[in-house]
Structures are given as C-alpha cells and as structure tokens.
Amino acid sequence: MADKPSVLFVCVHNAGRSQMAAAWLTHLAGDRVEVRSAGSAPGDRVNPAAVEAMAEAGIDISEEIPKILTVDAVRESDVCVTMGCGDTCPVFPGKRYLDWELEDPAGQGIDAVRHIRDAIRSRVESLIAEITEITEIDEIDEKREA
C-alpha cells in the first residue's frame, strides 16, 4: 500500500451505495485516504434519497456525478469495494477486493435509505481502522529496513 491508501467503491449505477460510502470515507478519514467511486452502468444523477439521508448526517453529496468504472480506477486503488451488486472489477495482483452485501437504495424511501447509510458508515469505520493500521505497519517496516 502506498503512503496514502486508496479505496474505490463500486456499484452498478454509482448513484447510491458507492456515493454514500465514498462520502463517509472522505468525511471520516479526511486526507488520510484517497477515495474514488464508480459504476459499471452509471446513472444520470445521485439518488435523491441518498442525498437526503447524507444531508441529515451533515454530508452534502448533491453535487456528485455518477462516474463510469475504468480499469485505471481499479489499477490506482489499493482496495476495491463492490457494494453487493454483483459488479466485478478487473483483477490486479496486490489489490484487496471486498464485497459488502448492502440493500440497494434505488426506489427506497428515506427510512430504508437511512438504514443503508448507517450500515455503510459502520463498514467504512472498520475499513478505515484496517487500512490506516496497515499503512502505519508498512511505514514502521520501511523505517526498519532503512
């Protein structure tokens, strides 16, 4: 992993789960982690219920735009997280791949999306602990080798 770990969140439309996950990671980890999100078939806009749910948590994703999943986005990321949607990422050696089984917020009301938002936050918090710990261990090992 590089000095600054990078994470790519992927869901089909890049309009709900992956957008919320990227926003949580950016909000909670700040500049300690590089964050990307993408979809295999990006939607036209971010899900309004996801925008509303994140706004309730004090995070504005209203200006985000769904992005297409590219090989470069995967190649440049240390961790690739698919969001329980069956999307597949190109496989590169040395990458960590995770699949988070999460309900799709598409067509859901705000109450259901709040639950999904909170489940994503919990997983992102665990991911931050894992990847920042790995980065700190790598830095210690590099100092020992020097």
Environment class of 130 (CB within 10 Å of its CB; exposed 0-12, middle 13-18, buried 19+): middle
35 forms beta bridges with 7
Contact, 29 vs 57, CB < 8 A? Answer: no
User: Is residue 80 among the annotated active site residues?
Assistant: no
Q: Which of 7, 10, 89, 113 is catalytic?
A: 89
Q: Which of 8, 10, 11, 116 is catalytic?
A: 11
Question: Can you point out the beta strands (E) in 45-144?
Answer: 79-82, 96-99
Reading the block at residue 62, the tokens are 């209203």
3-state DSSP call for residue 10?
strand
Residue type, 30: G
- Chain center to CA of 31: 14
Q: Which of 25, 46, 85, 124 is catalytic?
A: 85
Give phi and psi for 9, each to the nearest 5: -105, 130
Which residue numbers are catalytic? Answer: 11, 85, 89
